Amino acid sequence: MTQATYNGVLNLAAGAFLLAAVLIVWRRELRSIVALLAWQGIALAAIPLTEGIYQHDAALIVVGVVVLLLRAVALPLLLARAVGTEPGERRESTPLVNTTTSLLITAGLTILAYAVTRPIIALDPSPSTRAVPAAFAVILIAVFVMVSRRRALSQAVGFMMLDNGIAATAFLITAGVPLIVELGASLDVLFAVLVLGLLTGHMRRTFGGTDLDQLRELRG
């Protein structure tokens, strides 16, 4: 793999990663959001895979395959099962911030991400580090999504996006962190999805729906 191809593929992966996040903010149907999350997982897995192939590092390639299976296949499947089958459940109720404003806020967050990550690029101006602003932007967008959605599952998707963004940052600036930490991070994600999926099931049985606005008993 040549340097130019490596740069190009890395840029495309980071760009697709950010684009998936933008589309998650744009779309409102739960099924399409979960599908976009799967696409984002593929873009995420492309980063360690590309770096592994370019640097002939087998460990990175293995990590990339694991990430692909976990975040592009297993977790979106779990979330899709939790989406439920009633048509009323599929569509997101009006988010707290309307779509036009959300998109404009996303634009602002992207610019903020570029500003905030300048010291990182200054410390290590390599092609992979230059893509970090995209990953950071996804992190900020994910926090915004979690704050501005009403359905429990949309919040879960937002959390997964946050984890994807952090994993992307870790892969881009350091080619992964020590194995034990990576393991802990993956367990964290798995746990979060399991718990959130379980809780959503409980919620549906107890509250008759997963609209988070119904969680209003504990106040003050």
Binding site for another protein (CB under 8 A): 3-4, 7-8, 11-12, 14-16, 18-19, 22, 26, 98-100, 103-104, 106-107, 110-111, 114, 116, 119-120, 122-124, 127, 130-131, 133, 139, 143, 146, 152, 155, 159, 162-163, 166, 169-170, 173-174, 177-178, 180-181, 183-185, 187-188, 191-192, 195-196, 199, 202-203, 206-207, 212, 215, 217-218, 220
Burial of 209 (0-12, 13-18, 19+ CB in 10 A): middle
Smallest distance from another protein to CB 42, Å: 16
Smallest distance from another protein to CB 119, Å: 3
Q: Which two tokens stand for residue 107?
A: 């634009």
Residue among 35 and 112 whose Cβ is closer to another protein: 112
Residues 56/71/98/111 CA torsion (nearest 10 deg): -20
Residue among 65 and 192 whose Cβ is closer to another protein: 192
Q: Which CA distances in Å does 93 have to 19, 156, 167?
A: 23, 15, 30
Residue among 68 and 136 whose Cβ is closer to another protein: 136
C-alpha to C-alpha distance for 147 and 135, rounded to whole angstroms: 19
